[in-house]
Every structure is written in C-alpha cells, then in structure tokens.
Amino acid sequence: MKVDAHKHPPVAFISYSWDSEQHRTWVKDLAARLRNNGIDAKIDKWEVAPGDPLPEFMEQRVRESNYVLIVCTPIYKQKSEERKGGVGYESTIITAEVFTKSNHRKFIPILRSGTRQSAIPSWLTGKSDIDLSDNPYSEEQFDELVATMLDRREKAPPIVQPLTATPRQKITDIKPVEKSQFSPVEIIQVLEDEVGTPRNDGTPGSALYSIPIKLNQSPPLEWRQFFVQAWNHPEEYTTMHQPGIAQVQGDRIILDRTTVEFLRDTHTKTLRMAVEKANSEYFALTRKHWLKDQQQQALIEDHKGHVKSAISNIKFK
C-alpha cells in the first residue's frame, strides 16, 4: 500500500490486547514514537472516551486506516482465535477485510512476546512480521516498520547497461588518460527554473516531482553507470534514502519522484558521495586502460628492437 506521506501522513491503527499495565504502556510509547517519525499512529487510549461505542470505533479504525499494526503476544493470539473481547471483534473485522479485499500488506504483525508459533494468530501465519520482542527492541526492525509505512523501503536499482562494449562507446575507445588529464565531474547547482511540478491529484506519489542538478560537463557512459550504482548502493545512508530515483542525462543529474525538502535534508550528502565515487571509479578504469596500453606499447617497442637486432646479423652473401 503506497501512501503519499508528503501530503498526508499514513494512518496506522494499533490493535493489541490489554495483557498488563506494562504492556499497555509499551504500546502507548510505540505509538508515540511512530508519531514522532511521521506516522499518524492511533490507539484506543487516545481515541475512545467514556460512553463511546467500542465496536463502531474498532470497525472504523480498521477499515479506514492505511495500516493496521497487530501487536502479537500469546494472550492476543488466544483472544483473537477464541474471538473474545475487543481483540476478538477486531480480528473478525480484520480477517473479513483480508479475505474479501486481499489487502495483505495493510496488516503488519509485530511480535512483542512469545514465539511466532505461540503469539501470532493462525490467520496471520506466513505473513512477514516485525520483531520487537527484545528489550530494548531492535532499532533496525523499527526503522524497517517506519520505512514500510512511508514507502521508503529500499527498492531494486534500475537496470543499467553493463560495463561492456556497446554500440555507442566501447571500453577500448576510451582515450587513455593520466590523472592530470582527467577533469573530475562536479556539481554546479540545482536548476531552479527546471524543477518539476507535482500533480497533487491525491494519488500516491502525486506530491513528488523531478529535480535537475547541473554538472560542469556531460560525463561519459561509464561515469554515468558508476554514478547510478553509487547512488543506489551508497556507503552511508538512512531509511530516508531513495534508491532508484537518480539518472544522468547530458550535463544533468535528474532526481525523480522526490522533493526539494528531501534534497536539502537527505540527498545532498549522498549526491556528493556518489559523484566522488563515480569520479574515483572512472579514473581507476581509464588509468587501468592507460597502463595496459603503455605495457602493450613497451612490448611492441621491445619486439621492434629485437627484430632490428636480429636482422642486422642476417647476411645473405
């Protein structure tokens, strides 16, 4: 499920059982932390007032939320499968929506205590879960949960041409260069007048747009490939990184499906690192080719000298 987090934060309803006061506090703290990370997390503690109809609240929250986080414990599983209390009612609503709408990614099991077998209801068996059972729980797992709901999980990089001979330019066609002859690619500026315009039509991703960034030159094919690889697999990154959105067109880097806020807060450092990495990789490639050419030339000169010496000693009379 994709949510336009730039326009509206994703809504996540947390379904849990009242195992103990400590457990209820843990759930409340989890919800508060999610809200601090851009998720509109909702729990009954904050939503239901005395006199409110609980069944109506549960049904509305399950059906209208973008995500339902199911905090799994042995007690939750028991109440869910025996259809007891609020957990049982929520489980009935959830299973009905799963089976009728096949909206599996909306419902995310969170393992809090016990094992997967003892804590996760049978109707959730086989679903990928988030493991927050440790104390303190895994930061990596929490980041994965947030990235999933913000649609910022790492995606497969785009398919680029392999670093092999191509009709446009062959590796062997690269002019051998010394380091002093290679002019590194540099970022000049964001081309403000060419920044794209978001559609803003309410569909997922409609608040995003493209951002062109001017370079000091039009890099060769191999440099462009090195840059895309460095962008998609940076040496340092956060869960906010967006692999797969960068490409090089002429003397421009194009960041697609992003915003200037993301560029300012997240992508600037990654851009610098990717350009530096591409410069380093491209120089290493051309330097390697230059050395090979020099070695080949030395062999040719040695052969010519050998031939000349041998011929000078040949007498026909």
User: At residue 315, what is the residue type?
Assistant: K
Residues 102 and 231 in one domain: no
What is the C-alpha R_g of the chain?
29
Average pLDDT, integer, range 170-196? 72
Position 81: which residue type? E
Asked whether residue 15 falls in the same domain as residue 50, the answer is yes
Question: Would residue 157 count as lying in a domain?
Answer: no
Please report whether residue 1 resides in a domain.
no
Q: pTM for this one?
A: 0.50
Considering the domain architecture, whether residues 50 and 120 belong to the same structural domain is answered as yes
* pLDDT score for 99: 64
Q: Which domain holds residue 110?
A: 11-149
Query: Which pairs from 96-104 meet CB under 8 Å and 24+ separation?
Result: 97/62, 97/63, 98/123, 103/1
Please check whether residues 141 and 17 belong to one and the same domain. Answer: yes
Residue 316 within any structural domain of the chain: no
Ranked by mean pLDDT, the top range of 124-138, 175-189, 192-206 is 124-138
φ, ψ of residue 250 in degrees (nearest 5) = 60, -125
Residue 213 has pLDDT above 90, yes or no: yes
Instruction: Say yes or no: 111 and 180 in one domain.
Output: no
The answer to whether residue 315 is domain-embedded is no
Are 47 and 90 in the same domain?
Answer: yes
pLDDT class for 154, splitting at 50, 70, 90? Answer: confident
Cβ distance 268 to 213 under 8 Å?
A: no
Q: What is the pLDDT of residue 174?
A: 47
Of 118, 149, 180, which one is at a domain's C-terminal end?
Answer: 149
User: What is the mean predicted confidence (pLDDT) over 244-261?
Assistant: 90
pLDDT of residue 179: 45
Cα dist. 122→76, 79, 174 in Å? 11, 12, 60
Do residues 209 and 138 both lie within one domain? Answer: no
> Any idea what the CATH number is for the domain that residue 114 is in?
3.40.50.10140
Q: Do residues 33 and 143 lie in contact, with contact meaning Cβ atoms separated by under 8 Å?
A: no
Residue-level pLDDT at 160: 63
Question: Is 134 a domain residue?
Answer: yes
Strand pairing class (246-249; 107-111): unpaired
**Residue-level pLDDT at 181:** 62
Residue 133, phi-psi category: left (phi > 0), alpha (psi -120 to 50), beta (remainder): alpha
Model pLDDT for residues 57-103, shown as the tens digit of each residue: 888 888 889 999 999 999 999 988 888 888 877 878 887 776 666 67
Same domain, 261 and 294: yes
**How far apart are the C-alpha atoms of 317 and 315, rounded to whole Å?**
6
Which residue from 196, 236, 198 is spatially nearest to 212, judged by alpha carbons?
Answer: 196
Predicted pLDDT of residue 73: 95
pLDDT at 11: 94
Instruction: Let me know if residue 314 belongs to a domain.
Output: no
In a domain, 165, yes or no: no
183 & 128 share domain: no
pLDDT at residue 176 tops 50 = no
Q: Among residues of the chain, what percentage have pLDDT more than 90?
A: 40
Residue 243: pLDDT band (50, 70, 90) is confident
Q: Do 141 and 238 share a domain, yes or no?
A: no
Residues 144 and 175 both lie in one domain: no
Is 64 contained in some domain? yes
- What would the mean pLDDT of 168-196 be, rounded to a whole number? 70
Number of domain units in the chain: 2
d(CA 308, CA 317): 19
Each residue's pLDDT tens digit, 280-299: 988 888 877 666 767 777 77
**pLDDT at residue 17, as a whole number:** 92
Are 261 and 182 contained in the same domain? yes
**The last residue of a domain, from among 149, 184, 215:** 149
pLDDT of residue 126: 80
Q: Single out the residue in 149, 184, 209 at which a domain terminates.
A: 149
